[in-house]
Chains A and B, each alone.
Chain A
Amino acid sequence: MYEKALFFPAGDQALVVELGETVSPEINRRVHDLTLAIEDQDIPGVIDLVPTYRSLLVQYDPSQISIHELQASVLEVEEGLAERATEEPRVVHIPTLYGDEHGPDLEFVAEHAGLTPEEVVSIHSGTDYLVYMMGFTPGFPYLGGLSDRLATPRLATPRVETPSGSVGIAGSQTGVYPAASPGGWRLIGRTPLMLFDPKREPPSMLSAGDFVRFVPLTDEDEYSGIQDLVQQGEYQVTAERKR
């Protein structure tokens, strides 16, 4: 982590605020704390904030604020971070049915790792994964923290369609697909939750800085029970504060 933020102009209407060089939960935490603090400040002319692994992209309107004024405001917010009370991050539970038709690659992942499918499920659901950032497609979380033992290469030929809610592994990453899309991930399970719904506010179930916990479902009945509630808009997402 840098001692002080570094600034890089990105054209005449965006500013990169870089807090470190590497992927680490500490640097990332600071990115999210800074994002929330800047938002609280309501700096005139700030139009959008894009927090990522180790930096924050600030989009601004130069007719309201110059890059120099913006940098000064961000530095001031950064200096005040130490005194700012921050909440512990959320841990969002994602109920997941592992294996069979919902996780057609579970057997392969187990074989590749030299484990039983049950062990794969136990390891995968036994970790809280940090949402480092959102990107790639609306509602897609970049998760960190997959056990090295579960790392599995991508499919040589991507699937034409991966169903929405699919939980998969690609290399040393794990993730969940918010919408049906083509993809080369090894699918080990599926959640009945809708991670992204444009009609919801906020539309995304997850935010950068949250943690995700995959909670194994016992059978198809439990899966469809939750699916029904989701479709009726009555499902209550389980989330707790990280301890």
Chain B
Amino acid sequence: MITATFEVTEPGMLTTVQDRGRYGYQRFGVPVSGAMDEFALRAANLLVGNDEGAAGLEITVLGPGIRFAVDTWIAVTGADLSAQLDGEALPRWQAVEVHGGGVLSFHGMEEGMRAYLAVAGGIDVPVVMGSRSTLVKASLGGFEGRALKVGDVVPILPVEPGARSIPLGLPEGYQAPAYGEHHEIRVILGPQHGAFNEEAVAALWSSTYVISLDSDRMGYRLEGPPIEHRTGPDIVSDGNPLGAVQVPGDGVPTILLADRGTTGGYTKIATVISTDIGKLAQAVPGQSVAFKAVTIEEAYQLRREREAALVAIRDQKQSRKGSSPGFIILVDGQAYDVIGEHGEAVSRPPTAGGAARGQSRQATATVDGHTFDFEVEVQRGD
């Protein structure tokens, strides 16, 4: 039997295994890590039918070559790094079937800088402190605690029996994010805005900053007009939240990101809202950033909209292209796949009784020993 794996055949710039991050250990000084653009990773996972927290690859600027050992499904989201599958352009934000021996390659950065690869089942590296995310700086987690290199053979977890069918792409009405070259980043003032006078805060809203080359997964250093402190730049060290806009003594802000240290001793004038962290993750050094203040209620609303988009991806009623059509039952408008006793996909409604697609009929089902009568609407099938 061939083990489900993929092999790295060409080096990339920085390709690491990431999931949604490592929580519960910040109090011991362990950074959270995880995907820089969490939305893109979660979407990629949902597109191939994974749990949204499964581990995938974060691919930075120059992608690696990847050869799959077995037939599987993949989705590439996030930046446009000119992905190709077996030499043909690979659509992003869409589940695509890969055959054993298939080669994924990347041919240059077009838009954004971090692409995410999800593989059906998820990447199988050891869970370290509750997460598969890589923290290269501390050689922690991921694939041997480091970025992938040529020759690495990365295991893939088996797809769970009875896993729901795979949606094809983004649901109707949802568009893939466009990353652009100028980034409006929304922030909530604080926690230490009290260390700055009004002019300094006003300067933060009116200035444009350029992302420094000295930016990485720990943080984005900005170049632009310095922000002056009313009091000193140093505080008694406290916790570093994700997205903190930290202003040290030279007045030049740094935005703290996934691999940030857990604590720090500089004033934090504002904090980037959760939905805009991913935007920053796709902002390329040399591009410009401007800040805009929002209220916490506005941030919550934007976050609800983002979560709704992920739910919509997850709850699509499409099945995987090319496989036998699945049989779906709608209960109160919610779609459920029908699976057999052994977890196998049921492609033909055993009780359709000749009902054609779009027609309904009465049926009964047994769930945990309880029998239910319900109406079946045939969605697909012949």
Contacts and interface: CB of A to CB of B under 8 A. Distances in A.
Contact of B304 (A23, A63, A198): A63
Contacts of B299: 11-12, 62
Contact of A50 (B129, B262, B274): B262
B230 to A, nearest CB: 16
Interface stretch (A74-82, A151-159, A199-207, A233-241): A199-207
B217 interface: no
B191 A134 contact: no
Interface string A48-60: 1111111111010
Contact of B140 (A18, A54, A134, A198): A198
Nearest to A32: B27
B188 A204 contact: no
A16 B192 CA distance: 10
Interface stretch (A83-91, A102-110, A136-144): A136-144
Interface stretch (B99-107, B109-117, B234-242, B363-371): B234-242
A9 interface: yes
A129 interface: no
B173 interface: no
B26 interface: yes
A204 B28 contact: yes
A52 B134 CA distance: 25
A55 B238 contact: yes
Contacts of B271: 9-11, 14
Nearest to B24: A48
B336 interface: no
B28 A207 contact: yes
B29 A136 contact: yes
A142 B27 contact: no
**A contact face: mostly helix, strand, loop, or mixed:** loop
Interface residues of B, number: 44
Task: Identify the interface centre among B26, B236, B239: most chain A CB within 10 Å of its CB.
Answer: B239
A9 B28 CA distance: 23
B81 to A, nearest CB: 29
Given A52-B237, A52-B263, A137-B138, A13 B242 contact: yes
Contact of B303 (A12, A21, A55): A12
B300 A62 contact: yes
B128 A14 contact: no
A8 B237 contact: no
A21 to B, nearest CB: 7
Nearest to A208: B27
Interface in A111-143: 133-140, 142
A53 B30 CA distance: 17
Contacts of B243: 11
Given A12-B300, A53-B237, A135 B261 contact: yes
Nearest to A68: B296
Contacts of B237: 52-53, 133, 135, 142
Contact of B241 (A11, A51, A62): A11
B311 to A, nearest CB: 11
A208 to B, nearest CB: 6
Contact of A11 (B31, B138, B242, B264): B242
Nearest to B128: A198
B23 interface: yes
Interface residues of A, number: 46
A211 B27 CA distance: 16
Interface in B117-174: 128-129, 138, 140-141
Nearest to B236: A53
A14 B241 CA distance: 7
B297 to A, nearest CB: 9
Interface in A11-37: 11-14, 16, 18, 21-23, 35
A57 B32 CA distance: 14
A137 B29 contact: yes
B236 A50 contact: no
A14 to B, nearest CB: 4
A67 interface: yes
B272 interface: yes
Interface of B: 23-32, 128-129, 138, 140-141, 187-188, 190-192, 236-244, 261-264, 268, 271-274, 296, 299-300, 303-304, 307
25 contacts: A8-B190, A9-B296, A11-B188, A12-B273, A12-B274, A16-B190, A18-B238, A23-B236, A49-B26, A50-B26, A50-B239, A52-B237, A52-B238, A53-B238, A55-B238, A55-B239, A59-B242, A62-B299, A63-B307, A133-B263, A135-B263, A137-B138, A203-B129, A204-B28, A207-B28
